[in-house]
């Protein structure tokens, strides 16, 4: 008997159908309202081709996926609460942009029609039918402390790209829906939709379809277009920097101060100060925080602090 995973209730799996080959759909529900998660899992499990488990937090979901990977199995679809952990640990594990985007109301959650939900029921886990799986565990550490649903989607997609993620939301929010799609979600579904609609979305994303409610589509497209425009402009500004200035910017993104940057790049603090001033000027911003935000939009990652420092006398200009 497999060991118990904290935060995950053992799954119920449909027995094999004699003489009939059925392609199973394996679903993991991640929601920290235990009654909602268990009820939704039970309702989905009533479908003859669906096996489903449920977890009550991001870390519990990742443990579930890790065990499934170790057993050579995988989930096909992840159903993630958009406001995962919003009441139990606000802002934990989420990036600044995601935390600012979160607009969760601390009231009762909605529910998929046909599935009972007890408002305010919080949990460290939940579950029902199926297994725990995926073909990789690379995203586990990335979201081990994360509780935000969109952060969880990003972590799972980066390390376990075969899983299709669908975000379940209490409110229609074009900006957060766009963030979810950018993080790798295949759909954004209202919690008050019917069970049959949710099943249709699950089957659709497995055909590489993307689902957004028609009422949200215009707003989501507007947000995605604006994000692309901002990213393009940010990339252009970053490209104007010299190689040395880009390295200084990566150090700034990593959170290093002037002295730490000087030690890492074998430069004097005065020289680093000059480079930082040049970076701010070329990017058209007035603070390190604004420079870091612009760098993130342009896809600039932090300097690898665990790697080797830049060699003295290197080729950077």
Compute how many other C-beta atoms are within 10 angstroms of the C-beta atom of residue 106. 9
* 143: CB partners within 8 A, 6+ apart: 58, 59, 62, 93, 151, 152, 154, 155, 156
What is the percentage of the chain residues whose pLDDT exceeds 70? 70
Q: 253-256, long-range: CB within 8 Å, 24+ apart, which pairs?
A: 253/292, 253/295, 253/296, 253/300, 253/301, 253/302, 253/303, 254/302, 254/303, 254/305, 255/302, 256/303, 256/305
At 41-66, the pLDDT tens digits run 999 999 999 999 999 888 888 888 77
Strand order in the sheet with 164-169: 50-55, 25-30, 77-81, 164-169, 187-190, 211-212
Q: Burial of 135 by CB count in 10 Å (0-12 exposed, 13-18 middle, 19+ buried)? A: middle
Look at phi and psi of residue 71 and say left if phi exceeds 0, alpha if psi is from -120 to 50, else beta. Answer: alpha
Q: Which tens digits make up the pLDDT trace of 188-240?
A: 999 999 999 999 999 999 999 999 888 888 888 888 888 777 777 888 889 89
The winner for highest mean pLDDT among 178-182, 185-189, 295-299 is 185-189
Contact 41, 198 (CB under 8 A): no
**pTM of the model as a whole:** 0.56
- In the chain, where do the E strands start and end? 25-30, 50-55, 77-81, 164-169, 187-190, 211-212
Mean pLDDT computed over every residue of the chain: 74
Tell me, what's the pLDDT at 255? 87
Burial class, 223, CB count within 10 angstroms (exposed 0-12 / middle 13-18 / buried 19+): buried
> Helices in 80-148 by DSSP H: which ranges?
96-101
SS3 of 190, please? strand
The DSSP letter of residue 143 is G
Q: CA angle, corner 214, sides to 212 and 217, nearest 5?
A: 65
Separation of alpha carbons 244 and 4, rounded Å: 51
pLDDT band at 162 (very low <50, low <70, confident <90, very high): confident
């Amino acid at each position: 008997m497999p060991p118990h995973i904290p935060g995950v209730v053992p799954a119920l799996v449909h027995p094999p159908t004699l003489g009939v080959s059925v392609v199973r759909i394996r679903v993991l529900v991640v929601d920290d309202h235990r009654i909602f998660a268990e009820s939704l899992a039970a309702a989905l499990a009533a479908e003859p081709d669906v096996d489903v488990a449920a977890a009550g937090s991001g870390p519990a979901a990742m443990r579930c996926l890790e065990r499934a990977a170790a057993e050579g199995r995988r989930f096909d679809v992840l159903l993630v609460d958009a406001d995962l952990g919003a009441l139990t640990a606000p802002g934990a594990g989420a990036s600044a942009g995601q935390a600012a985007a979160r607009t969760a109301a601390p009231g009762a959650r909605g529910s998929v029609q046909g599935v009972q939900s007890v408002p305010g029921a919080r949990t460290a886990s939940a579950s029902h039918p199926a297994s725990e799986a995926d073909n990789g565990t690379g995203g586990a550490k990335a979201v081990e402390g994360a509780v935000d649903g969109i952060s969880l989607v990003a972590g799972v997609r980066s390390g376990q790209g075969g899983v299709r993620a669908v975000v379940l939301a209490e409110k229609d929010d074009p900006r957060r829906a766009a963030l979810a799609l950018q993080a790798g979600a295949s759909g954004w579904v209202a919690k008050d939709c019917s069970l049959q609609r949710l099943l249709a979305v699950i089957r659709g994303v497995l055909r590489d379809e993307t689902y957004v409610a028609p009422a949200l589509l215009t707003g989501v497209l507007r947000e995605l277009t604006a994000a692309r425009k901002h990213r393009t402009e940010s990339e252009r500004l970053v490209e104007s920097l010299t190689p040395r200035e880009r390295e200084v910017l990566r150090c700034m993104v990593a959170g290093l101060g002037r002295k730490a940057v000087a030690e890492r790049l074998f430069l004097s603090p005065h020289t680093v100060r000059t480079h930082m001033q040049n970076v701010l000027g070329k990017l058209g911003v007035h603070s390190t925080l604004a420079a870091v935000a612009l760098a993130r939009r342009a896809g600039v990652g932090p300097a690898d602090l665990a790697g080797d420092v830049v060699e003295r006398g290197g080729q950077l200009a």
